[in-house]
Every structure is written in C-alpha cells, then in structure tokens.
Structure 1
Amino acid sequence: MIVTTESLSRLPGIGHGFLTRRGGVSDGIYDSLNCGLGTEDAKARVMENRARAVKAAGLRAEPLNTAYQVHGKNVLVVETPLDQENRPQADGLVTRTPGINLGILTADCGPLLFADAEARVVGACHAGWKGAVGGIIEATVEAMEGLGARRADIVAVLGPCIGQESYEVGTEFPTPFIDQDPANARFFAANACRKFQFDLPGYIAARLAHLGLAEVNVTGHDTCALEDDFFSYRRKTKRGEPDYGRQVSVIGLT
C-alpha cells in the first residue's frame, strides 16, 4: 500500500509515504486507493482513501492538503489547512507547521518529497516534464529556504513515476530540453519507431543533483508498467478509458 524510503524514515518527527493504488475503498477504474478529488469517483470514497493514506504514513489524523496542479512552478507556503472545495493552483507545497499534511497527486508525473529535519521544514512538489523544465523543483527548495531550511540539510526523494521504457515521445519533444542544455540529450534514447524514450526520473534526479542538497534518492518504480500497483495516465490514454485514478504522496511534521 505504501512505499517509504530509509533516507526520510530516519528523520525524527517527519512522516512520509508514496502511496500505491492498493488498500482503498474505490472500485472499477479507480480500484482502489484513488485520492484524486478531480476524478469522477465518489467524493466520500476519495476522502476515505485520503484518510487512509495519512494514517499509513504515520501522520497526525488531520485532513490532507492538496492543490489544483497545473504543471506550473507556483509554490504555496501552507500554514493553515487549504480549502479542498476550492483548491488553489500550485504544484509545490511547503510547511513548517506540525499537523499540516502535504499531498501531491500523480499518475505518471514525478512526486517529490523534501525534508530538512534540523529546520523542521518539509515540502512536496508535482514534477511532470513541463514543471521540471519550468523550475518547480528549484522553486520548492527556494520556498523551503524561505521558511528557514538549508539546502545542505534537505533530503529529497523522487517517488514512483513513468519510467523511460514506458515513455515514448515524438521527435519534437526533446527540443526544449536540449535548448535549455545540450547535455540533456542524454535523457533521450532513440527507439525502433524513430521516436524517443524519455528518462523523466533521470532528468529530475539530474536537476536535484545541481541543487547541493544533503541527499537525493529515487524509488525507481515505473507507474505505467506496474499496473497492479499504480495508476497511469499514459496507460489510460492507450486504452481509451474515460478517467483514471491518482495516487498520492504525502509528507508532514508529526
């Protein structure tokens, strides 16, 4: 039901977890731990799933705070609970307030969790390719610094996301990456269809490596390939399904 990492688990007073699709109450295409309020799933089921996610991560029994994610670089400092009926647009969340549980929803994009145990500051961000290129990772770290965190003390973990073998892209796709830095060509492997396979986790990890953080880890799960464990937008699109569930990644101060 939950993926955790030793690098974050060893930090005192911090709970975290990358939830899978298992262990919830939803059914059908949302089977079973769908935590996306933006889906067509019954709201009561989604809220129960979110409560289960918070409990599984060892966080305080407080509501989960998520934003309306738009693949941008806006980061919110969360000091009081966010209105989940009118979620603000943001792709990064940071807090230093105990009991404020942060959540990032994904179904192939990269969920990132951050923690500075010394400063007692945590953060989370949603890094699809647009957000990663646009600077959401750096913006989240900067927002944590604004709350007193130090880069040299921040641990970052990239959770389950689409892997390179599952992520075929068109011939035009690499252009913004290579325009940004010619060395980014290494994240694209040509395939037999004369297209490319994009290494999203490798690209995100490389951006993290440039930030001078204390530690960077990648869980290495491919959400598209592991159907029993994860929801996937790409898999849904290939099958022509009407909607898809979202798994959640959570972090908070206990």
Structure 2
Amino acid sequence: MGNTGSAENTEGTENKGSTGNKDSTENTGSAENTNTTQNSASALTAISTPAPVPAQVRASSSARTRTPTLRPSRRRLLRGAALAAIPAALLTTRPHPAVARPRAVDYPGAESVPASTSNYTASNRPTSYPIDYVVIHVTQETYLDTLAIFKNPAKKVSAHYVVRSTDGHIAQCVRERNVGWHAGNWSYNTRSIGIEHEGWVDRPEYFTDAMYKRSAALTSAICEKYGIPKNREYIIGHSEVPGATHTDPGRYWDWTRYIRMVNVA
C-alpha cells in the first residue's frame, strides 16, 4: 500500500511540473507576439502618414494648376453679331395654317354648297319676314348643273335646297334666314323655303323613292321649325305661286304620297 502512494505522488509531481512549464511558455509567447504587433503597426503608421507640405510649396502648386480664362474667338464673335442682325420675325416658328371648317347648314345631313351671294338676298328671317310656305320645284336640269347655275352670279336665281334623284342627297345652297330667288314672286320669296328636285316634269323616273323620302323628311322638319301646317295649302308647287309662269313640279309629282310622307316623317 505504501508503494502505491509513492507512485501517485510521483505522477502528481510530474504533472504539476509539466503544467507549470507549459503555462510559462504560452505566456512568454503571448508577450512576444504583442510587442511584435505593436512595433509593426507603429512602422506602418509612420509610412502611411505624409510629411507636411510647406505653405510656399502649396501656393506655388496652386498657381501652376489654375484654369486659364477662355476668350471667345473672332469667328464666334462675328457669328453672334450676324445672328443678332436677323429680324426676330424670321427666327420665330410660323404657325400652322388654319384648317377650314365645314360650312354650317340648317338641316342635319345636308351638304353645304353655297350659291353666289349675287343670287339671293341676305336677311334675318323669321325676324325680318315670317316663313309661311314650302315651295316644291323640279330643276329641269341635272343635280350638278343646278348647283353650277346657283353658283353663277349672272343667273340671278337660287333655292334653299336641292335634292338629288338617285339617293335623295340634299345640298343646301342658301341659308334659311336668307331670301332665295326661286318663286318668281317677291312676297312669296320672302315668306317661303324653296326646295328643288333633280329631274324634268315629264320624266317621272327621276322622282325616286329615295328622293320622296328625303325631301318629305326635310319639308317636315321645316314645317315643325317654323310652325307651318303640313298640308297642301302651305306646301305648294312652283306653278301655284301667284303670277308664276312655271309648271313644276308637274303632273307626275305624287302630291298625295308626298303629303302623307311629310306627316309621318
């Protein structure tokens, strides 16, 4: 039992000695490393920090790097003078030309084809004259020739509307407020709206369904606008105007059908 205790003591002594030496070595290494690191940092700081530059040297360097003042060349001065001499009106942008607007019409869907101002009397109806009648005409000309006649200032004739045979297309040649020269009677001219229909009195094929329909709708609108009764007393043919020498719309014009269509339009 005594030998066993000696062995234990011996191992304990050796272990303690070994441990003490190890700690001593580690402590010594740490101190050396710390000193080395501090010395290296001091050296790097000394290298990276620039030496102060004398004030005289800084002033001399600034003088050498100053940007020189640029002066305009003679060519640039001459060009500026030339531009200044150009009138301002030539330098401004010219506006785009105005786009012509369609001329106004009194009846929606009608095409404005103005007659010459020499062929009607400007007025302000129904203030200047009451509008009491619608006068039905037949052109005795083609649609286009009729429009050309109304545009000719030498003809001294016009009507407010012209209805085309083929499709009932309506052209307005005189505004309703103005007095058309169509009835051959000044009093009736002042108090009526004249509607021409393409064709001839002895050629009933020109009086198409489309023409009747569009014309009846136009006459109906005029009657409603001015309070004109929709009957044969106030919707009359050119031949029925007092003093008229014309025979239109002629015997082939279907008055019964037309007045019925005016009343249902």
Q: Same fold (TM over 0.5)?
A: no
Structure with higher Rg: it is: 2
**Shorter-chain TM-score category?**
under 0.3
Compare the two structures and name the one with the higher helix fraction.
2
Compare the two structures and name the one with the higher strand fraction.
1
TM-score (norm 2): 0.27
- The structure with higher relative contact order (CA 8 Å, sep 6+) is 1
TM-score (norm 1): 0.28
